[in-house]
Amino acid sequence: MHLLKMKPISYLKNNSAELAEELRTDQTDIVITQNGVAAFVCVPIERYESSRQALALLRLLNMSRQDYAEGRSAEATEVMDRIEKELFPDI
């Protein structure tokens, strides 16, 4: 486990370019504090994008579980047949 880096909001205001470089090179999250209280987190873009993709996959998984529980499911071969008929109706 790594310790979180914490910086006051004044550091962000006065050193935004340095903060961006630190995020790029260290690849660690930085907690920005305001009046000594955590206000938000700066995250390297790669981690942000990865987290967003993981969240999207979890949402899709949850939606599919709900569909299955409610009886909205089909065999893969059946689905592929429907797709082929829609894409290639003359075959």
Domains of the chain: 5-43 (3.40.1620), 47-77 (no CATH)
- CA of residue 2 relative to chain centroid, distance: 20
Tens of pLDDT along 29-82?
Answer: 999 999 999 999 999 999 999 999 999 999 999 999 999 999 988 899 999 999
pLDDT score of 3: 65
pLDDT higher than 90, residue 4: no
The H or E element containing residue 40 is: strand 37-42
Taking CA atoms, 37 is separated from 9, 33, 74, 80, in Å, by 10, 5, 51, 54
Mean pLDDT of 19-26: 93
Cβ contact 30:42 at 8 Å = yes
